[in-house]
């Protein structure tokens, strides 16, 4: 029976953070955690300076440079003078405004959405924002996390609050189970293929069902990370035992008695059984195949056994022209120039293990010009090295780099040249995303690794 008191997880977190409910539908929402990176923050700090304001609560803000920094020879500093100014500006702003930071050479530096959970800064039930759309990642921990623009960055710094309108809620149930070798990345690409890149506009999406329960925290982060690619600002997953175990003993998680008290709270962070959503979508886990995007939007996607749709020539002529592909071409026949394993979607230890598993005792194909692995953070890099994964990648012909956004958006030196085609574990295949004229195909780490060995897309099993 419908129960008026039943609440979705989204509404629970919203209600517990609502400072002031305005009649106009816009609420003043308290923000617990604010992540900052070098690209979207300088103008916000400048705004504070001009209006002579200070951060409301310094301990809530954590900054890290990740977008612009080099992924090799970091001891030599940043070669590009404009990138250097931006990273230096972040450093100065953090010092002047008393903001916590992980500097470029800090051993725990990494991509902002990787290090938040890894350090235990992302805690269930929090509201978390960052001037970055992939803030949705943190929703994997039962947090309400979403990306904001620079004006809002300044607003959060100055007031610890944001003026926001409650979104509609969508529940995506993934039932059954994933087939062998199918990953969270394949699943989220499949979902985006189903609901479209505008499918989630105006919604926050909660993911549930047996498949989500069975996923690791890493996999759940991959799902929530790409929720923004489905048009939804926030993705959410209920807290369970895996969430709690993941957070135990991290650098910033509460210790001892506080942890137990916190866990009591965290356990309540799920949608009530009778809660109603504005929209419910059901997906069969068993239907998901290894996925590959073929166009310039993540919704232009098919599976490894598929071909470029015949009707694509009519519907998406400019996407096909940009990608240099023709309708009917088999995905398996697409040859690659570069391989990128990294980004806040897929650069966690589990991703690196999955890729290493495929390339172990193999060599990348001669036709591949560059294959690179960019771990998401310092701790992930060290962990992988302890497990010998770096050796596996290096002897297969991959480059083993330092953590950062790298070729996910090519703001540093890592990029595609015009016309080059890349199998990438990142999240966006937009025109020019990985370098002007570059052609991106989004895949899972295992699929990227298999493509590196074969020189073209192939099933993980035949790699």
Binding site for ligand SF4 (CB under 6 A): 66-67, 111, 113, 132, 134, 343-344, 405, 408-409, 426-427
**Six token digits for residue 420:** 């080059």
If the CB atoms of residues 392 and 405 are measured against ligand SF4, the closer one turns out to be: 405
Rounded CA separation 122/405 (Å): 19
Residue 312, CB-side half-sphere exposure with 13 Å CA sphere: 25
If the CB atoms of residues 296 and 426 are measured against ligand SF4, the closer one turns out to be: 426
Q: Residue 111 binds what, of another protein, ligand SF4, none (CB under 5 to 8 Å, by partner type)?
A: ligand SF4
Q: Which residues are CB-neighbours of 433 under 8 A, at least 6 positions away?
A: 408, 409, 410, 426, 440
User: Site residues for another protein, window 372-401 (CB under 8 A)?
Assistant: none
257, with CB counted inside 10 A (0-12, 13-18, 19+), is: exposed
Rounded CA separation 149/40 (Å): 7
3-state helix, strand, coil in the chain (%, to 5): 40, 20, 45
- Of the candidates 409, 416, 423, 453, which one interacts with another protein according to CB under 8 A? 409
- Of the candidates 119, 133, 183, 424, which one interacts with another protein according to CB under 8 A? 133
Alpha carbon separation from 314 to 141, 167, 311 (Å, rounded): 42, 35, 5
User: Site residues for another protein, window 425-444 (CB under 8 A)?
Assistant: 428, 430-433, 436-437
- Of the candidates 254, 309, 313, 455, which one interacts with another protein according to CB under 8 A? 254
The least distance separating ligand SF4 from the CB of residue 240, rounded to whole angstroms, comes to: 25
What angle, rounded to 10 degrees, do the helices at 378-386 and 112-119 form? 70
Q: Residue 343 binds what, of another protein, ligand SF4, none (CB under 5 to 8 Å, by partner type)?
A: ligand SF4
Stretch that binds another protein, among 146-154, 284-292, 345-353, 387-395 (CB under 8 A): 146-154
- Of the candidates 3, 21, 179, 201, which one interacts with another protein according to CB under 8 A? 201
The closest alpha carbon to 28, from 18, 38, 42, 36, belongs to 18
Alpha carbon separation from 203 to 27, 266, 278, 297 (Å, rounded): 16, 23, 9, 19
- Of the candidates 49, 265, 335, 363, which one interacts with another protein according to CB under 8 A? 265
The least distance separating ligand SF4 from the CB of residue 166, rounded to whole angstroms, comes to: 26
The least distance separating ligand SF4 from the CB of residue 372, rounded to whole angstroms, comes to: 14
Per-residue binding letters, 22-41, with another protein (x by CB under 8 A): x-xxx-x-x-xx-----xx-
């Amino acid at each position: 029976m419908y129960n008026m008191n039943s609440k979705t997880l989204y509404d629970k977190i919203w209600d517990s953070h609502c400072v002031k409910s305005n009649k106009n539908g816009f609420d003043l929402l308290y923000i617990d955690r604010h992540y900052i990176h070098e690209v979207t923050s300088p103008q916000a700090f400048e705004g504070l300076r001009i209006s002579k304001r200070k951060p409301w609560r310094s301990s809530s803000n954590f900054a890290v440079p990740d977008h612009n920094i080099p992924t090799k020879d970091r001891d030599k500093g940043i070669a590009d003078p404009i990138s250097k100014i931006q990273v230096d500006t972040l450093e100065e702003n953090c010092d002047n405004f008393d903001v916590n930071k992980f500097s470029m050479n800090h051993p725990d530096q990494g991509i902002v959405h990787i290090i938040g959970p890894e350090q235990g800064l992302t805690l269930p039930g929090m509201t978390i924002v960052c001037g970055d759309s992939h803030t949705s990642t943190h929703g994997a921990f039962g947090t309400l996390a979403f990306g904001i623009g620079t004006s809002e960055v300044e607003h959060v710094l100055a007031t610890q609050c944001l003026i926001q309108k409650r979104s509609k809620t969508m529940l995506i149930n993934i039932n059954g189970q994933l087939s062998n070798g199918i990953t969270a990345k394949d699943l989220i690409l499949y979902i985006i293929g189903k609901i479209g890149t505008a499918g989630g506009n105006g919604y926050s999406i909660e993911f549930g069902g047996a498949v989500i329960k069975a996923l690791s925290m890493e996999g759940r982060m991959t799902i929530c990370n790409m929720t923004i690619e489905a048009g939804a600002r926030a993705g959410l997953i209920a807290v369970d035992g895996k969430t709690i175990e993941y957070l135990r003993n991290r650098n910033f998680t509460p210790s001892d008695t506080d942890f137990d008290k916190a866990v009591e709270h965290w356990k309540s962070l799920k949608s009530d059984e009778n809660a109603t959503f504005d929209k419910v979508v059901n997906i069969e886990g068993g239907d998901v195949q290894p996925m590959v995007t073929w166009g310039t939007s993540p919704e232009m996607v098919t599976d490894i056994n598929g071909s470029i749709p015949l009707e694509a020539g009519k519907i998406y002529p400019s996407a096909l022209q940009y990608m240099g592909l023709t309708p009917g071409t088999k995905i398996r026949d697409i040859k690659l120039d570069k391989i990128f394993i990294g980004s806040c979607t897929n650069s966690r230890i589990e991703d690196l293990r999955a890729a290493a598993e495929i390339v172990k005792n193999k060599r990348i194909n001669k036709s591949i010009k560059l294959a690179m692995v960019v771990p998401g953070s310092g701790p992930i890099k060290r962990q992988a090295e302890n497990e010998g994964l770096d050796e596996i990648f290096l002897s297969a012909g991959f480059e083993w780099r330092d953590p950062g956004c790298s070729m996910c958006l090519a703001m540093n030196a890592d990029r595609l040249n015009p016309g080059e085609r890349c199998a990438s574990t990142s999240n966006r295949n937009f025109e020019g995303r990985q370098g002007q004229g570059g052609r991106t195909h989004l895949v899972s780490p295992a699929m990227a690794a298999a493509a590196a060995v074969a020189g073209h897309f192939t099933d993980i099993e035949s790699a």
